[in-house]
Each structure stands twice: as C-alpha cells, then as structure tokens.
Structure 1
Amino acid sequence: MRLRKQALGSRNLVGARVEATRKSEGMKQKELLAQLQVQGVDMNASGLSKLEGQLRYVTDFELVALAKVFNVSVDWLLGLTDKREP
C-alpha cells in the first residue's frame, strides 16, 4: 500500500469518507472504478486518487454514483449527517 505523498487538499468534502469507506469494505481503487463505470461514471485511477486526496472537485453525477456504490446517502458523504443509509 502506497502512502499519500501530498497533503490533503480542500476541493471536496467527500474524499476522506470515500477513501475510508472503500478501505473499510476491503475494496481496491480498481474495484471502485469498475463499479463507478457500471453507474455511468468514467473515472481513471489518477482522478480517483485526487478525489480521495481532496485535490479535485467532485461532480454531482460522481457524488450520486458513489452514494449508490457504497449504499450510503449523499448527505452522509458530504458530512451533513451521521446517518449512512440512503
């Protein structure tokens, strides 16, 4: 497992929760990218890494797809609630 070289950014609120949820489910980035593709979101590994590192903005389409993949609410991903369920 590689460690992040850059400090966390400030371009999104969801990156930290995406990374923590992905890791807690034992999911590799490649697996998440495949599931996002099924949801109609075409993202590469660099884009996902930057999203998780909060170095790039998240589109509304990506936000909805991530919530579906992890079966959590968009509000939870945004840190607006502690309730994970959609």
Structure 2
Amino acid sequence: MKKRNWIGENLKKVRIREGLSQEQLIAQLNLLGLDLDRTSLSRIENYNREVYDYELVYLSKALNINITDLYDEFNL
C-alpha cells in the first residue's frame, strides 16, 4: 500500500469552505507561530508532503476546527 497524507484533500476542502486562499492560510499560520510556506501547504494538500503532529495543531487552530475534522471526510 502506497503511503499518502490522509488529510490533504480534507484540508483543502476546509480551507476553501472557509474562503481562504493558500496565502491567507499561510499568513494565519505564521501569525500563530508556524513557519510554513505556500509550497509546503500545496504539497500537503496534494499528498506530496507528510504533516507533522504539531502542524496539525496549528492548522486546526488557524481553521478553527478540531484536528479530527481533517480525518473525517463525512464531517465536511
């Protein structure tokens, strides 16, 4: 089984649902203290980069969601 980043598609769906561009989400993450660039976010959303646990915390805070929402395709 090929490994892939499970949250990529859900992250993108939530970001778009919230009306945020990748640049806007990056700006919010940077304000919270996470140094992530647009290329890295794009790679996460497209299953080309793994996500670290601490990044999940920042992503959920920036999007005002629970971490588990990124894993639950039916919760979107």
**TM-score, normalisation: structure 1:** 0.76
Question: Are the counterparts in 2 of residues 13 and 79 from structure 1 also a CA contact under 8 Å?
Answer: no
Q: Distance in 1 between matches of 2:45 and 2:52?
A: 13
Rg comparison, structure with higher value: 1
Corresponding residue for 2:11?
18
* Equivalent position SS for 1:26: coil
Q: Which has the higher helix share?
A: 2
Sort the Cα spacing of 1:10 and 1:20 in 2 relative to 1 into closer, same or farther, 3 A.
farther
Q: Distance in 2 between matches of 1:12 and 1:37?
A: 22
**TM-score, normalisation: structure 2:** 0.84
The 4+ residue runs of structure 1 with deviation greater than 3 A are none
* Equivalent position SS for 2:19: coil
Identity, in percent, stands at 35
* Count of residue pairs the alignment pairs up: 75
Alpha-carbon RMSD: 2.1
Q: Distance in 1 between matches of 2:3 and 2:14?
A: 19
Question: Are the counterparts in 1 of residues 10 and 73 from structure 2 also a CA contact under 8 Å?
Answer: no
- The higher relative CO (CA closer than 8 Å, separation ≥ 6) is in 2
Instruction: Give unmatched runs, 5+ long, in structure 2.
Output: none
Displacement of 1:54 in angstroms is: 1.2
